Structures are given as structure tokens and as C-alpha cells.
Structure 1
Amino acid sequence: MRVYSGVDPVTGKEIYLSETVKGTDKAAYRRADKVMTKLQAQVDKQRSPSTAVTFSYAIDEWLRTADIEPTTRHGYVGYIDRTIRPALGDVPVSKLSARNLETLYGELRRCRVRCDGMPFIDHKAEGEHDCEKAKCRPHECKPMAQSSVRQVHSIISGVLGAATRWDWISSNPAKVAQRPRQVPPQPDPPSPAQAAKLVEKAFELDEAWGTLVWLVMTTGMRRGEVCALRWSRVDLDEGIVEVRSSYTTLRGVGREKDTKTHQMRRIALDTETTVLLREHKKRCQETYAELGADWSEDSYVFVGMRGDLDKPYPPDAVSNRYKKMATRLGIKTHLHALRHYSATELLTAGIDLRTVAGRLGHGGGGATTLRVYAAWVAAADRKAAEVLGSRMPKRRSSG
């Protein structure tokens, strides 16, 4: 039995629902009538015509039409090529179910390459090669991080959401699929003593480098934001820094983009930081003059390496230099931890949550700040309770 179901919206081919009924007797004819009624009901119930295109095709169409920031797109493509396409690429988009997705997530949490559990060699080179020289090793299952599995889910959901909007499927199975739980943030800022050692060492290495580390430590700016900072956004008289953009590099090409939350914010500077920036500005102007370059208020505060004054300090280079400096000091940390340091020190000092969130550039009116720094907020709340209690009139003991 065949029932016309419409036209594939992508391929333009006619679609038929079919089911075989065996037999030639009267009972078979009755069964055939029931099957025909059932198939017709399926066609009538369809909210949109189904499509036979593969999930891989849907991915390509989504990537072609979606408005995704270049560095984010680069990360998405990595997940797609390594994980999503090999697992689901050949499956018709109309056949994907929540169970398919949850099965994939379970496999990734067991082994990121989704091995079958049988021993094999992880070859480090293609074709014929010497495994010893290529350092090939027996495969060891390594689970994909929860955050990475959630990212895979987010990409799949985006593709299926587009397929739903385009009437390729009637609903998005990713909306009902159970995704991995979000691991609570665990910020690990350096201690005040470690922070002091780090900033002292930074100034020993280079006054400009020391100023950069100091600025990140006192403002909580993101790495890309401090690299994108221009003098026109620094008001030394008012002691204010305007954060309007972030700098990123992709395949060696740098560009400015919006901040992570796509919002501008103003951060107040303390007196010592203002003095350091004023001295740094003077040194920058002298360096430009020595090299015969034109300095302007639109120049970057922290310029690129090797005398390239038209480009900012590369974000990756900033992180690598900071990591090496910390390692030499015997401190296990990274640049982003300075952002945590700034936040936790302010919260511990009793600064209100909304102010801290504003300095960090967190959205949601402090919800993100509270989620990430819940322990320090609780400590500040305890301190506030003790302060209030100490100001209350003392009650005499009834005994």
C-alpha cells in the first residue's frame, strides 16, 4: 500500500508512505483497508512534510546561514568534524530522536572517540609507518568533559532548531533529550601572597608587562579586552576605563570584536593604577618618538611584540608569557585566575554583588557572578552579619 505524503522540501522528490499487506483472501483486503486508513491518518497528522536529507546536509546549511562569530564558528567546526558528523552525519534528519542523542552523549562520557571497547593502537601517522618512531600507543579511553558534551548538544540543538524552522522536521528532539548536567564553576584564584609575587615579578621583567598584569588584577578585565584597549578609552583624569571591544586571533589573523556580553562597561580605577597607566602612557609616547612612529589616542595601550606598534599584544602571547612566569615562581595558575582574584577580593571585602558583576562585565544583574562565586558571596554575607551584630545594643544575660 502506498499513500502520497507530499514533496520533500529539500530534494523536491515526491514522498510516499508504504506498508506491505500479504494475502489475497477477504481478511487480507480488510487488513489492507485498515492499513490504508492508518497511512492516510499519518499523512493527515503530519504538521510538515518530512525530508530524507541527512543530518550532515542540515549541518552544512546551518553553518552557511547561521550568524556565528568567527572564533565561535571555528570551535563549532572542530566539534562537528571530530565528533558530530562521524556519529550522526549519515542519519536522515527526520529519523533523529532524543534517544539517539542521549546514546551519543553517553558514549562520549565513556570515551571521546566512541571506541567499541576492544583494544587497539592509536596510530599517530597515516599509511605505513614505524609505530615506535611515531610514538603510537595502545588506546586508552578518555571521557569527554561534561562541558564539551554540553557544547556538542548545543550545536546539535542549533542545527535541529533550524531544521524545525525550515519545516524539514516537525519538532526538535534535542529539546527533550537529557543533556549532561552543568558542572558547578570552581574558580581557583591565587592567594594575596601569590598575587603579590606575580605582579612583582612582572614588573621586574618589563614595566609594560607589569602594568598589564596589574591592570588585569585590579579591574578583572578579560584577556581579549585588555589587549583591545586603546588610549582613547582610558580617562586618566577621571580614573575610568571604557571596555568596548575584545581582541581575538584566528589562524594568525587578529581582529576586534564585541565583548563577550556585547555590552560596553566603565570600570573605575584606583589612584595607584591611574599613576601606573600615566607613566606607561609616557613611555609609550617616547617609544613611538624613538621609532619615528606617529602616536595617537587611538593607539593600543599594550602594543604588539617585535616593534609592531599597529597591533596589540596578541592574547595567546599574553597567556603564554604569564603561564611561564608563574611556573618559574612555582605557582600553578593561569591568566584568567587573575579575574577570579579581582572578583573574590572584592566580595571578601564586602563589595556588593551588583558592583562586582558590573566590573567583571557579567550579564543577568549578578546571577552569573553569584553562580560562579557563591562561596565567596556566602563568606561576605557572614562577614556582613557579624558587622551588623557588633553594632547592635548588647543585651544583658537573664541569668
Structure 2
Amino acid sequence: MTRADGTEERRTRGSIRARGNSLQVRVFAGKDPVTGKDVYITESVKGTDKAAYKAADKVQTRLLAQVDAQRAASTIVTFSYAVDEWLRTSDLEDSTRDGYVGYIERTIRPVLGAVQIRKLTARMLENLYAELRRCRVRCSGKPFVEHKAEDDHDCKAAKCKPHKCSPMAASSVRQVHSIISGVLNAAMRWDWITSNPAKVAQKPKQKPPQPDPPSPTDAARLVEEAFVMDDDWGTLVWLVMTTGVRRGEICALKWSRVNLEEGVIEIRRSYTLRRGVGKEKDTKTHQMRRIALDTETVVLLIEHRQRCRDRFAELGIDLTDEMYVFTGVRNVDPTVPYSPHAVSSRYKDMAERLGIKTHIHALRHYSATELLTAGVDLRTVAGRLGHGGGGATTLRVYAAWVAASDRKAAELLGSRMPKRGQRKLAERPKKKSAE
């Protein structure tokens, strides 16, 4: 028998069978778009007597109605349509949007695009995540050749290779889950669905952060080498190391946000490059913060400002507050900041020459771990780093160093406690003097 939509109607859409001391109601709900396997909705009813079978009949009728409702005309909105509407209405950063679109087009839409959103289940999503963790292209497991061209071609010349399964990283699968969940949350707000299956679907566990800051010895070598290269570069590396600012934030810093009299810098903006075009945007947490500077850092910035003033004077340019603090090696235009990519590349080359395996973001970790190890309280460290949640993010990322700081606090408190021998001596009753 064939239904109006062209799909084959099963003779038995539901069944009731005894399982031990209960009855299992089983209703066919279609095929899983990820695995192609049949999907059934099941529910149990206690007992195996006549009353139990009567109750099971009612459960079966309800489940069949639930499946039929999913096939009704009101449920024709597909996930593909929903994701397009979500992208159109969401307020996303350009770089974030580009990343999301990549996941959607490569991974999500080919699998779930044609599925009506009311038919999406947590099981479907978990099947997708499991397939991606096995192989990112969701192959059948049978050997095949990955062709580099679609038309007739010479595989040897095109360098076609046999497929090797490559699992998608757990963090990437979590990103896929986040996108799907965001789309379904929007569908709930728009009354297209009544519940979000992504909320109950299990996703890969998030690995705890493992920051790897340079050691104090390596940090000293890095900043020393930076000043040997040139004073401007040395000042940039020093400032990142002592404040823990992000790469984009140091590039977007303007002289108007540097108060050398108070010894404070304000972090309000970040600078990013997208397809070769640079632009300023809000900080990662969309909040400004003020970071206090130590005396030596203030002196370095005063000297750096004077160098910039002298350099621009030779070009007939006056230094103004709206100019960027750091403008790069070959850049003579003070209205164009240091490229974030150039900062990372130059730092990496410098570290490799010294034989140190690190990157520019690790200086942020260095600043945080040094402060925590020194006993600075968590909220202060979180404020300097620009972490939200009152220190929850800082605690999650730097838990090991917070524990070390807690140990230091314990030792400090223990050192201030009265000595055990002294306490016993104080408690001992005084002897009466002989008359």
C-alpha cells in the first residue's frame, strides 16, 4: 500500500508484545536520515493481564496519532529552511557566521536539511554525532577512492587517494550540536516545534582546558629577545605579558585609551582580519575593562610614545590620541594598526629561533598563572583577563593554578595558628607557690 506522499505504508504500523511482567507498545515512526534504519517509538505498560492489554491499546492509539501529527501539513518546515531563517535573523559576528556556514554546508545540511523539524529526535542527533566521531565524511565503512575531480580524469595525475576514516574532533562535534540547538531554539520561539530535542541529546564531553604558559625562564628569554629585535616589538610583547590582553585587543589599542598619569589602559575594542580586510569590533565578551599598569610598564609606554612622536615628525605627521599604539614593522601609517596575523607570525618565528614551543596567546596564560601563583584573588585576575561570570571561566581554565594558590593560602593560615606546644603550655594550670 502506498500513501499520498509516495512512501510505502507498512501493513503493521504498531505492535504490542509481552516483555517479562510488562507489555511493550512499539510504533513505526519512519527511517533515521543518518543511518537509514527504521525508527520506532516505544512505551511500556505494567502487567500482562486483560486490563494491561486494554491500556496498551490506548497507548498505541496515542503513539500512532503522534506519528501522524508529524506527517500533517502543518509540519512541512524543513531543517534546511529553519537554518536559513536562523542565519538571516541571528546577530552574529562575521567570522562566527563564516564558521557556522562552513559546518552547515559541509556537515549539517546534507544530513538533516530535508528532514521536517518536527520529526527531529534526540536519537537522530546522537546518531549523527556518533557517525561524525567515527568518520567526518560519514562513510559506510567500505573502502573507496576519494576522487579529486568529478569528471573523467586520471586518478594518478589528480592524486586521488584511497579514503581513510578521519574522526571529527569532539570540539567540532560540539560546535555542530551548538548550531543545531540554536536553530531549534529559534524554531521553538517561532512556534514551529514544541520542544528542542537537542537539549536532551548527548554530545561529546568537553575536555578540560589545558593552558600551557611559558615558564618564567622562557618568558624572560622571549621578552629579552623581543627588545633585541626592536624596542617597539619588545614593548608590545611586554605589554601583552604583563596585562594578559588578547591579540586583537593589543592591535586595536589607541593612545586615547592609555592613561599614563594614572597608569591604566582601557580595553574597549578588538581588531580582526577577515578575508584580508581589517575591522574593529567589540571585545570577545562585549565589555570594556580597565587594567592597571606597573611603574616599569608605564615608563616603557612613555618611551614608546616618544619614539612614535619622533618617527611621525620626520614624516610631517603629528601624533594624536586617535592613532594606534602599535602599527607594525613596515607600516608608516599610524591610522592602520598592527595586523593580528603579523603579530602571531612574528612571535612564532621569534620563539622558534629560541627553541621555545609557544604562541602569542600563551602570554595571556602566563599573565594569569603568575598572578594566581602569587596569591592574587580570582576576581581580580578574571577582571584583568576580561572573563565574565565573576571568575567562573577563570576557575575552569586555570583550576590547577587556583589549587596551587589555595595551597599557599592554607600554608599562610597554618603559619599564623598558635603552636601546639605553646597551646598546651598555656592550658596547663599554674602551680601554687610554696608558702
Q: Which TM bucket (shorter chain)?
A: 0.7 to 0.9
Q: 1:204 to 1:136 in 2, by over 3 A?
A: farther
Query: Matches of 1:212 and 1:42 in 2, distance apart?
Result: 63
Contact 1:49 1:169 (C-alpha < 8 Å) held by counterparts: no
C-alpha separation between the residues in 1 aligned to 2:258 and 2:317? 21
Distance in 2 (CA, whole Å) between partners of 1:312 and 1:222 is 14
Aligned residue number for residue 175 of structure 1: 199
Counterpart residue number, 1:323: 348
Amino acid at match of 1:340: H
AA matched with 2:411: E
1:396 partner SS: helix
User: Does residue 372 of the first structure (1) align with residue 408 of the second (2)?
Assistant: no
TM-superposition CA deviations, 1:274-301 (whole Å, max 9, x none):
1111111111112222223342111011
Distance of aligned partners of 1:178 and 1:238 in 2 relative to their CA distance in 1, 3 Å threshold:
same
Q: What is the distance in 2 between the residues matched to 1:44 and 1:124?
A: 44
Match for 2:172: what amino acid? S
Correspondence for 1:80: 104
Partner of residue 310, structure 1 = 335
Q: Distance in 1 between matches of 2:62 and 2:418?
A: 80
Matched, 1:228 2:252: yes
Give the alignment's TM-score, normalised by structure 1.
0.85
Cα distance per residue 1:297-332 (max 9 Å; x no partner): 110111144323221111122112111211121111
Structure 1 distance, partners of 2:390, 2:147, is 50
Moved more, 231-240 or 83-92: 83-92
- Contact 1:49–1:167 (CA under 8 A) maintained in structure 2: no
Q: Which runs of 5+ in 2 are unaligned?
A: 13-57, 426-435
Aligned to 1:346: 371
Shift of 1:40: 11
Contact 1:56 1:90 in 2 (8 A): yes
How far did 1:72 drift?
1.1
Pair 308,393 (structure 1): closer, same or farther in 2 beyond 3 Å? same
**1:134–1:273 Cα change, 3 Å:** farther
- State the structure with bigger RCO (CA 8 A, min sep 6), 1 or 2: 1
- Bigger CA drift: 366-375 or 298-307? 298-307
Could you tell me how far 1:124 is from its partner in structure 2? 4.3
Cα distance between partner residues in 1 of 2:137 and 2:66: 38
Structure ID, larger Rg: 2
RMSD after superposition:
2.7
Residue aligned with 1:246, SS = strand
Alignment of 1:269-280 (within 5 A): 269-280=293-304
Written as runs of structure 1 = structure 2, the 5 A alignment for 1:192-341 is: 192-304=216-328, 305-341=330-366
Give the Cα separation in 2 of the matches to 1:180 and 1:242.
38
- Larger mean CA deviation between 215-224 and 121-130 belongs to 121-130
- Does the CA-based 8 Å contact 1:199-1:210 persist in structure 2? yes
Read off the aligned partner of 2:349 and give its amino acid letter. K
Distance 2:379 2:110 in 1: 45
- AA paired with 1:180? P
8 Å contact kept, 1:50–1:94: no
Rounded to whole Å, the distance in 2 between the matches of 1:351 and 1:145 is 35
User: Which residue number in structure 1 is paired with residue 130 of structure 2?
Assistant: 106
State how far apart, in whole Å, the 1-side matches of 2:335 and 2:381 are: 33
Deviation at 1:185, TM superposition (A): 0.6
CA contact (8 A) 1:243 1:264 kept: yes
1:361 aligns with 2:386: yes
Classify 1:372/1:139 alpha carbon distance in 2 versus 1 (closer, same or farther; 3 Å): same
Q: Which residue of 2 aligns with 1:118?
A: 142
CA 331–133 in structure 1, closer or farther in 2 if over 3 Å, else same: farther
> How many aligned residue pairs are there?
369
Amino acid at match of 1:106: A
Contact 1:49/1:168, CA 8 A, preserved across alignment? no
Pair 230,336 (structure 1): closer, same or farther in 2 beyond 3 Å:
same
CA 1:396 to 1:43, structure 2 compared with 1: closer, same or farther past 3 Å? closer
In structure 2, the CA distance between the partners of 1:199 and 1:131, relative to structure 1 (3 Å rule), is farther
* Post-superposition CA distance 1:244-299 (Å, at most 9, x none): 11111111111111111111111000111111111111111122222233421110
Aligned equivalents of 2:268, 2:325: Cα separation in 1: 14
* Higher alpha-carbon deviation: 324-333 or 226-235: 324-333
Letter matched to residue 231 of structure 2 = E
- The structural deviation recorded for 1:130 is 4.8
Asked whether the 8 Å contact 1:227–1:312 carries over to 2, the reply is yes
| Matched residue type, 1:337 | A
Q: Identical aligned pairs, as a percentage? A: 73
- Cα deviations by residue, 1:137-170 (Å, 9 ceiling, x for unpaired): 3322222222111111111111111112222222
Cα distance in 1 for partners of 2:325, 2:257 equals: 9
CA contact (8 A) 1:218 1:342 kept: yes
- TM-score, normalised to structure 2, is 0.79
Closer, same or farther: CA 327–52 of 1 in aligned 2, 3 Å? same
Using the TM superposition, give the Cα deviation of residue 134 of structure 1 relative to its aligned residue in structure 2, in angstroms: 4.5
User: CA separation in 2, counterparts of 1:136 and 1:342?
Assistant: 47
- SS at the partner of 2:279? strand
Cα pair 1:231 1:299 within 8 Å, conserved: yes
Name the counterpart of 1:71. Answer: 95
1:133–1:197 CA distance, 2 compared to 1 (3 A): farther
Contact 1:228/1:256 (<8 A) preserved: yes
Residue 80 (structure 2) aligned to one of 42, 49, 56: 56
Comparing 259-268 and 50-59, the one that deviates more? 50-59
Q: Secondary structure at the match of 1:335?
A: coil
